[in-house]
């Protein structure tokens, strides 16, 4: 049964999203008709992890020091390995196909020998590594891909995502982009099902990630609607399934609007200290976080008073 919002409901979702953003952003991040704006440089990009972030202060000030490393690259390279296995499977396969983890090391040899299917910057980075560094990337990517295969259990005919692209929705009239990374798609009857492979264990965070993917996916031109989004943890072996309905999509819209408001007025963002403060990029100037960790008061440095107004909160790099 199709529970995906029908075209009319997609329009309602778009209106609800635009209306919500109008209410919190006002004229901020407006994009003149016909203008070309890079949302990563001059706008807002809101991803799944952004709306799942529980600390408002951390969410309001995304880190701008992205550097490629094995931890950030292994998923995208792992997807290349799985897609290579699909491409290398026998053309006359008569049974539904499933990746064999034992073939991942062979896939790695092929994938690392040419860069035409890689995201450009990722290929460039991998080539800048010494052989042992690339071996570290290969090893981590195989581990990720093996976990991804394990997470889908006995399911067949999984279409693993192209790491060069992700689900995207540019909000009309705004330099605001919604982006959702989905790792696989599977057709079941007349419906599409999306899979997110993530180490996130918190159930509420998983629901938000699924909601965000459902929201962004609902705007895509698809032959088949997205009926379900699953979030799988390769660490714990758990997988949760979320039916795509109005409630899930509206949840995502509300969180996107909340997040946009935080990004516009970061000083209004309420912190939520937790063990995650240890790794937070704003810890040095966050009194609540430092108290929570038993550290001395905020270090001297930029105070948390930068008012954004209509200017972007800061540059963020798009991982490609």
Partner 1 sequence: MRVSDWLSGLDVPGPPVCPDEVDDLRRALDVEAARLLDAAGVAADADPVQMSKSRLAHLDRCERSAAAPSTLRPTEPVSPAMLAGRALDHFVAQVLVSDRVLEPMRDLRAAFVAHGDDESLACLDEWDGSDEGTAFALRLERLGAVAAEQWSGIDRIWAARSQVPVAAVFADGRLRVSGSVDVELGGPHSLRPGVVVEVKSGRPSSHHRHEAYLYGLQVALRDRVAPAVVAQWYPNSAPAGVPVSIGTLEAAAARLMHGLQRWLELLVGEEPSVSPGAWCEWCAVRDSCPVADPSAPARDRGDPGDELDHRREAEGDEGERW
Region of 86-94, 116-124, 195-203, 260-268 interacting with partner 1 (CB under 8 A): 195-203
Of the candidates 105, 188, 270, 299, which one interacts with partner 1 according to CB under 8 A? Answer: 105
Contact 154, 21 (CB under 8 A): no
> What SS3 state is found at 81?
helix
Q: Report 209-238 residues binding partner 1 (CB under 8 A).
A: 233-238
The candidate with the shortest Cα–Cα distance to 217, out of 244, 256, 247, is 244
Of the candidates 10, 14, 101, 110, which one interacts with partner 1 according to CB under 8 A? Answer: 101
When the beta carbons of 20 and 273 are compared against partner 1, the nearer one is 273
10 Å CB burial of residue 240 (0-12, 13-18, 19+) is middle
Contact 81, 107 (CB under 8 A): yes
Does position 319 interact with partner 1 (CB under 8 A)? The reply is: no
> Shortest distance, CB of residue 145 to partner 1, whole angstroms?
9
When the beta carbons of 168 and 272 are compared against partner 1, the nearer one is 272
Of the candidates 1, 35, 132, 303, which one interacts with partner 1 according to CB under 8 A? Answer: 132
Identify the bridge partners of residue 184 per DSSP, sorted by sequence position. Answer: 160, 195
Does position 143 interact with partner 1 (CB under 8 A)? The reply is: yes
What is the x/- site pattern for partner 1, positions 234-253, by CB under 8 A?
Answer: xxxxx---------------
The candidate with the shortest Cα–Cα distance to 289, out of 305, 269, 273, is 273
Give the helix/strand (H/E) hosting 196.
strand 191-197
- CA angle, 257 as apex, 252 and 260 as ends, to 5°? 125
- Cα(255)–Cα(260) distance, rounded to whole angstroms? 8
End-to-end Cα distance, the chain: 36
What is the x/- site pattern for partner 1, positions 289-308, by CB under 8 A?
Answer: ---xxxx-------------
Does position 91 interact with partner 1 (CB under 8 A)? The reply is: no
Name the site residues for partner 1 (rule: CB under 8 A). Answer: 67, 69-71, 100-106, 108, 129-140, 142-143, 146-147, 149-150, 199, 201-203, 233-238, 273-279, 292-295
């Amino acid at each position: 049964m199709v529970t995906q919002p029908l075209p009319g409901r997609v329009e309602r979702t778009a209106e609800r999203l635009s209306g919500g953003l109008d209410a919190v952003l006002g004229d901020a991040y407006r994009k003149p008709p016909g203008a070309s704006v890079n949302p990563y440089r001059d706008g807002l990009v809101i991803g799944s992890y952004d709306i799942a972030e529980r600390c408002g202060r951390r969410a309001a000030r995304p880190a701008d020091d992205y550097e490629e490393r094995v931890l950030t690259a292994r998923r995208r390279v792992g997807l290349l390995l799985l897609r290579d296995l699909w491409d290398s499977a026998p053309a006359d396969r008569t049974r539904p196909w499933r990746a064999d983890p034992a073939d991942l090391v062979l896939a790695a040899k092929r994938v690392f020998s040419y860069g035409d299917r890689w995201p450009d910057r990722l290929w460039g980075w991998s080539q800048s590594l010494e052989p042992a560094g690339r071996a570290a990337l290969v090893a981590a990517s195989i581990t990720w891909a093996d976990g991804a295969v394990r997470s889908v259990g006995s399911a067949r005919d999984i279409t693993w995502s192209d790491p060069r692209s992700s689900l995207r929705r540019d909000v009309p009239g705004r330099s605001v982009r919604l982006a959702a990374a989905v790792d696989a798609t599977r057709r079941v009857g007349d419906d599409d099902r999306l899979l997110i492979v993530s180490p996130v264990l918190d159930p509420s965070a998983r629901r938000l990630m699924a909601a965000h993917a459902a929201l962004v996916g609902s705007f895509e031109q698809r032959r088949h609607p997205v009926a379900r989004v699953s979030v799988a943890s390769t660490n714990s072996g758990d997988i949760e399934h979320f039916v795509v309905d109005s409630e899930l999509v509206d949840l995502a819209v509300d969180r996107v609007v909340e997040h946009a408001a935080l990004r516009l007025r970061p000083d209004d963002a309420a912190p939520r200290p937790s063990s995650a403060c240890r790794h937070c990029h704003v810890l040095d100037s966050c009194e609540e976080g430092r108290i929570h960790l038993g550290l001395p008061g905020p270090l001297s440095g930029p105070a948390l008073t930068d008012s954004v107004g209509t200017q972007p909160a800061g540059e963020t790099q798009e991982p490609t």
